[in-house]
Amino acid sequence: MNTKTRQALARIGSRYPSRRSALLPALDLLQREARGHIDHESLVEAARVAGVPLSEAYGVQTYYTMFRRQPVGRYHLQVDTNIPAMLAGADKIVSHLQKRLGIRPGERTEDGLFSLETVEDLAACGTCPVIQVGDRYYENMTPARVDKLLAALRKGKLPDLPAQAHFSSQCNILLARRGVERAFDIKVYRKHGGYGALPLALQKKPEEIVAAVKDANLRGRGGAGFPAGVKWGFLPKDGNKPVYLICNADEGEPGTFKDRQIMEHDPHLLIEGMTIAGYAIGARLGFIYIRGEFAWIADILERAIEQARQEKLLGENILGTSAHFDIVVHRGAGAYVCGEETALIESLEGKRGNPRLKPPFPAAVGLYGCPTIVNNVETLANVPYIVQHGAEAYKRIGTPNNFGPKIFGISGHVRRPGTYEYPLGTPLDELLRAAGGVVGRLKAVIVGGLSVPILTAKEARGLVMDYDSCLKAGTMLGSGGIMVMNQSVRIPRVALRAIEFYAHESCGQCTPCRQGSRVVAELLRRICERRGAAQDIERVLELCATIKGSTLCPTGDAFATPIEAMVKKFRPEFEALVR
């Protein structure tokens, strides 16, 4: 190992209050140094840096999909085949690549130039099919664009193949600067009104900000819809331990690609929101836990954080006040479950992303055993508006108990898949119109990310997109990731693909999730391959019903609920396959 690597490893170690947190970044660095995989020596080194036994380092390495034990090609092509990608024709991209490269997923070309892998959701649902090459995403892929990509890679060049991302903003809060050039630059952000809220916040008492966020009834945008102000209120009042703020930027729920719009194009909005939130809850250090696949977005965030530090908007004595706050960007390494807040905390501590038993909740015992608040990117991005314009103004957006703007990510069979910022409570029909309308005839729609019950076209008619209305309609708003399916979609295929995803992502800790997801996947595979029997459908329903509420964390419900809904609502399609 060269001196540069050693120094980089030491720098990583010094970033965190606990050395163990350096394990993931150390493994990432060593994998990059070794051109794509981690061997025994690298693992020993990473374990040394993080101060953990070799066995635990191996446990961590093998938990995360982005760490590899075996060498890959110089260009490792990863094709997202999750449901939004499937709806956009990812299968064709995979078979085109197989044909062009002469290898199957999991293999490497003889010259070592390419390796191919099919992967789970890359949060590019509006721009599918997507291929990840190294740290870059190639979106809106067609066979022709694949050929262009391969030709450039053969010449040793990572080409520029711009994606066509659709978006619009009716609220002009979260996506206000989405179309503005170089909005990631602090100058541009300021020019468009950025960092207007922070000075106002610092003039207030922290508890006044908490009260305003509570008053605005800002509901968590990660999926659960739990009021952020109430969550902040759970922190112990007179603790002597440090308080941490974590921004959940894991964005792993299939169908969800909203947070990246903020982080990639308007990072200072998040930084401003986090700084205000940090001040409000008494945190001096915040983390952005960003999914590892978003490497270039993590770079954007780090540059923006550095700009903010230079301008005294972060660090010691922010804007000359007595407030201190700083942010560390922490990259995940490929694990859906790390979107669950206690798993995220474990992962940030350098461990396997296994959810913790609750209680205690993170507000009491979180990161490094200290009080911790975990909020989603979009949630935190709402905070500056509330501070600047007040809770009353905020509550004029949306519907009662469901206030504020929401970014809806629309993917699947619409003409203009993309991200649309509308007030909560906007009718689904209006959102679909904004996305250019359904291609073909609407058959079904999943409105809140993959983990919520599917709706038939009939059920979706007249649906109002807010937390309470979705619940009343028998589904959930979740992350607001809307996946639209037309008459060409076969629901058993969707169900199989969905359960394969959860089985792949289950952390493996608890029995019903680990083995339940595997058995349900096996049963659905039998059905889809016409090897099943009528009682297999019953077994799936029985298992789903029993798994619900029996698992350690919400992941069990996250697959049992939607699978059960797909089978129940589209039962004739399943039955036709077992006849």
Partner 1 sequence: MKITIDGRSVDAQPGQTVLDAARAAGIWIPALCYHPKTGKAGRCRACVVEVEGQRGLKESCALPVREGMVVRTDTPRIHSVRRMIVELLLSEGHHNCISCQANGICELQDMAYHLGIDRPGLRIDSHPTPLDDSSPGILRESDKCIHCGRCVAACQNGVVNQVLAFAHRGSHARVVCDDDVPMGQSSCVQCGECVQVCPVGALTLKQPRERKIRPYEARPTKVTCPYCGVGCQIDLYTKDNRYAYAMAHEQDWQEQPNQGMLCVKGRFGLDFVDAPDRLRHPLVRKNGELVEASWDEALDRVAAGFKEIKEKHGPDAIGFLTSAKVTNEENYAFSRFARAVIGTNNIDHCARL
Which residues would be at the binding site for partner 1 (CB under 8 A)?
40, 43, 53-59, 62-63, 335, 352, 357, 503-512, 514-519, 522, 539, 543, 546-547, 549-552
Alpha helices in 234-354, H assignment, sequence order: 259-265, 267-281, 295-310, 341-348
Inter-axis angle of helices 511-528 and 534-547, to 10 degrees?
Answer: 160
Question: From CA 511, how far away is CA 490, in angstroms rounded?
Answer: 30
- Name the minimum Å distance from CB 355 to partner 1: 9
- Name the minimum Å distance from CB 47 to partner 1: 9
Nearer to partner 1, 29 or 338 (CB): 338
Angle (CA) 183 340 165, round 5° = 30
- Name the minimum Å distance from CB 156 to partner 1: 34
- Closest C-alpha to 219, from 1, 478, 2, 10: 478
- Name the minimum Å distance from CB 356 to partner 1: 8
Tokens of 527: 């059905």
Tokens of 406: 């929401």
**Cβ–Cβ under 8 Å, residues 439 and 416:** no
- Name the minimum Å distance from CB 142 to partner 1: 33
Nearer to partner 1, 67 or 408 (CB): 67
- Name the minimum Å distance from CB 55 to partner 1: 4
Nearer to partner 1, 253 or 259 (CB): 253
- Closest C-alpha to 421, from 411, 430, 432, 409: 409
Pairing of strands 326-331, 166-169: unpaired
- Name the minimum Å distance from CB 318 to partner 1: 40
- Name the minimum Å distance from CB 360 to partner 1: 11
**Cβ–Cβ under 8 Å, residues 338 and 250:** yes
- Closest C-alpha to 500, from 256, 259, 336: 336
Question: From CA 498, how far away is CA 298, in angstroms rounded?
Answer: 28
**Cβ–Cβ under 8 Å, residues 380 and 273:** yes
- Name the minimum Å distance from CB 411 to partner 1: 25
Nearer to partner 1, 63 or 403 (CB): 63
Query: Is residue 423 classed as helix, strand or coil in its secondary structure?
Result: strand
- Name the minimum Å distance from CB 505 to partner 1: 7
- Name the minimum Å distance from CB 62 to partner 1: 4
Question: From CA 488, how far away is CA 504, in angstroms rounded?
Answer: 26
Query: Is residue 224 classed as helix, strand or coil in its secondary structure?
Result: coil
Question: From CA 152, how far away is CA 228, in angstroms rounded?
Answer: 47
Residue type, 383: V
Question: From CA 343, how far away is CA 248, in angstroms rounded?
Answer: 11
Nearer to partner 1, 106 or 440 (CB): 106
Q: Which residue bears the tokens 């720098």?
A: 11
- Name the minimum Å distance from CB 514 to partner 1: 6
Question: From CA 163, how far away is CA 295, in angstroms rounded?
Answer: 17
- Name the minimum Å distance from CB 61 to partner 1: 8
Omega into 227 within 30° of 0, i.e. cis?
no
Angle (CA) 380 27 370, round 5° = 45
- Name the minimum Å distance from CB 547 to partner 1: 7
Nearer to partner 1, 501 or 570 (CB): 501
Tokens of 26: 């150390």
Q: Which residues lie below 8 Å from residue 352, measured CB to CB, with a gap of 6+?
A: 59, 60, 63, 346, 507
Tokens of 35: 């051109």
Question: From CA 365, how far away is CA 362, in angstroms rounded?
Answer: 5
Nearer to partner 1, 55 or 322 (CB): 55
Length of the chain equals: 579
Query: Is residue 199 classed as helix, strand or coil in its secondary structure?
Result: helix
Q: What share of the chain is helix, strand, coil (3-state, %, to 5)?
A: 45, 15, 40
Nearer to partner 1, 68 or 443 (CB): 68
Nearer to partner 1, 41 or 306 (CB): 41
